[in-house]
Structure 1
């Protein structure tokens, strides 16, 4: 608590640091949110989606036909014909392809699920074997709740496009099952009427303000690393560090104290940015525990960078590293990581590269959690940030001077 209180007090007295860490991100969120709002509410120019089916429609009809062997021939033929018309995957594809507002979505048929997921699709729709027949059993035989397996695998490198496709599919399937329930209840409702009227409501799952709330957050938290490293070197120059060592404070204790303080300050910084934007723009978060977990891991990553810069500065007795980091490295990371614009809209290569930066991977995870993604979906980001932190901590410990480090 001593370290946290001391560094927090020093930070509060540094008006330039406060402006950089809190005021600038809020201003940029406002500017970019209003300036680029249209780019987030419209459909992307091109969205490629893969379809992988473990069986053909004909095979599915034959499977269902085998279950109707004891039916009269005339009724069986009528039901099979209607079932073929009401095949959910085919209806979904036909509806999307015939809707003018969704003409940017293109479906591609693949044979292998693993190969499709390795390609640059926004997502992959996997149609499990027997899934069509299971839905038909529910519709025509009263088989209870459907267990048909339709799985959509979102491309984490294309969160914006994947979210659009997933939202459209969910809306379509919800409408389909609603009409099925009405029909089973004996209410007048045509199974085909209105199914093609899937309306893309312009409800891009990620608004400009929501995107830049996270994008500016993951960018400006790294300035905290630079400021903390600068404060640490100032302590060395003014002999504060030397007095701590003489007072039997170990080097490990000093570094741990700086790291814990950095994590604490990053969490406060993120929570303030989130709170202001949630209040102003009524942004909804689908998975708050996920957002908090990512915030914690990002804070640890920032702390590891702060300690790495501190160790390098102590080793070479220069404060230029922190300045260069804040002026150049953060800007490069922000550009590659997607803080200024969604890099997935520029090129697949840049989108992949962004996932190897801590801020880019954290941004993707934040966006996924905001859309309600489960822990399993954000786990790769958690593991990447953990690995990055461990690497920086290890290098920092190797660089940190064991002897003579207390000299100014």
Structure 2
């Protein structure tokens, strides 16, 4: 009887053009459009969507401080060429010309220099995301603290916009990296390492980006959006199945099924099984489209099978829960809210539209706890070439959501007929 119910629901799904278009045609079309249109941005590092504006107000400079620095160094018995070594290691110079000027940073931060007299007016400008104020005698104080055991550390002031928190956080991250590097230099110098060694170690500025481990590959737009649309459009399956179930209630078909001796539990189980089966079929079709049309070389087939099956089981559980809610409310309001709001929010947080981690690490972490976000992150890790064990934290989040859906469906599903 269970197979008969599954077969009946599959026929209802296949006889309706709208579900087939949304579940199969739309993801394929969007994958093709997005992977083609955004290939240049994702594959070759095009212009970022967010760019912060930083203003540096330097109340002094090396030329103004050179006399006082030379005088101090002579008192310490240092003169001649050694002065140039300190000059080449000017922290502000390295920040402006090595870090902020690098192609990996300047595409996210635009730099502007202003005199100290403009500070108050600049702080009122809404398009300024950060202001770095370098006080007078900063360079002299830095040299004293770094190399001559002066316990007073040089200070700088960083003002960040409260209105543009995302762009301000980009500036904060870069400045923190810069300060951290020179703090380490300070500690090394105080540990007895010569100034030349410390300065040489600071002349090399590593790129602030993810370093791929051996055997990993970058994720091109074709893979990213195939996976993104795969997990997103699977979320529409429960609303279609719950809609068909509600139609059966309204047409008295559900009551006749119960009168025929089929238990409500078995009917709910058939919804769960149908949702799982449809999700598996949908994902396989999309993955095959990626392989044969987009020429994607899918890696880690064993891990991919585990993720697809796990996510499909969640879709089945969600279909049973959504059917339960519609039976309880006797309307399609639950499915409409789910399609109009929940799918959009989950897809945004899960990263189906774009990599949310580029905007906010907090939102990315939240997205990893959504079922679609967990499945997408797990698949992308496998496609980078990482090992199977990396997916288990995300599978845990997925199975927690599955168990929650199943338990709620069991508790709330009407055990008798549903009156329309």
TM-score by length of 2: 0.60
TM-aligned CA deviation for residue 376 of structure 1? 1.0
Q: Cα gap change, 1:374/1:204 in structure 2, threshold over 3 Å: closer, same or farther? A: closer
Q: Per-residue CA shift, 1:138-197, capped at 9, x if unaligned?
A: xxxxxxxxxxxxxxxxxxxxxxx64xx124xx28xxxxxxxxxxxxxxxxxxxxxxxxxx
Residue 233, structure 1, aligned to residue 235, structure 2: no
Match of 1:267 in 2: 280
Name the CA distance, whole Å, in 1 between partners of 2:382 and 2:260.
45
Match of 2:328 in 1: 315
Residue 255, structure 1, aligned to residue 268, structure 2: yes
TM-aligned CA deviation for residue 369 of structure 1? 1.7
Q: Is the 8 A contact 1:291 1:370 kept in 2?
A: no
Match of 1:355 in 2: 368
Name the CA distance, whole Å, in 1 between partners of 2:255 and 2:383.
45
Name the CA distance, whole Å, in 2 between partners of 1:230 and 1:366.
30
TM-score by length of 1: 0.61
**Count of residue correspondences:** 267
Equivalent runs, 1:125-164 vs 2, <5 Å: 162=210
Equivalent runs, 1:7-406 vs 2, <5 Å: 7-43=9-45, 162=210, 165-167=211-213, 170=214, 205-403=218-416, 405-406=417-418
Match of 1:153 in 2: none
Name the CA distance, whole Å, in 2 between partners of 1:38 and 1:265.
34
Match of 1:140 in 2: none
Q: Is the 8 A contact 2:265 2:415 kept in 1?
A: no
Q: Is the 8 A contact 1:287 1:371 kept in 2?
A: no
Name the CA distance, whole Å, in 2 between partners of 1:227 and 1:300.
16
Post-superposition, which runs of at least 4 consecutive aligned residues in structure 1 deviate over 4 A? 43-46, 100-104
Q: Per-residue CA shift, 1:226-273, capped at 9, x if unaligned?
A: 101101111111111111111111111111111011100000000111
Q: Is the 8 A contact 1:245 1:406 kept in 2?
A: no
Q: Per-residue CA shift, 1:324-375, capped at 9, x if unaligned?
A: 2112211111111111001111111111111111111110011112223322
Name the CA distance, whole Å, in 1 between partners of 2:264 and 2:387.
39
TM-aligned CA deviation for residue 102 of structure 1? 7.0
SS in 2 for 1:166: coil
Name the CA distance, whole Å, in 1 between partners of 2:375 and 2:361.
18
Q: Is the 8 A contact 2:38 2:221 kept in 1?
A: yes
Q: Per-residue CA shift, 1:69-105, capped at 9, x if unaligned?
A: xxxxxxxxxxxxxxxxxxxxxxxxxxxx9xx88789x
Gaps of 5+ in 2: 51-98, 107-172, 175-208
Return the index of the structure with the highest Cα Rg. Answer: 2
Q: Per-residue CA shift, 1:117-154, capped at 9, x if unaligned?
A: xxx99xxxxxxxxxxxxxxxxxxxxxxxxxxxxxxxxx
Name the CA distance, whole Å, in 1 between partners of 2:299 and 2:385.
4
SS in 1 for 2:236: helix
Q: Is the 8 A contact 1:41 1:204 kept in 2?
A: no
Gaps of 5+ in 1: 47-96, 105-119, 122-160, 172-202
TM-aligned CA deviation for residue 4 of structure 1? 2.5
Q: Is the 8 A contact 1:288 1:370 kept in 2?
A: no
SS in 2 for 1:281: coil
TM-aligned CA deviation for residue 3 of structure 1? 2.4
Q: Is the 8 A contact 1:337 1:361 kept in 2?
A: yes
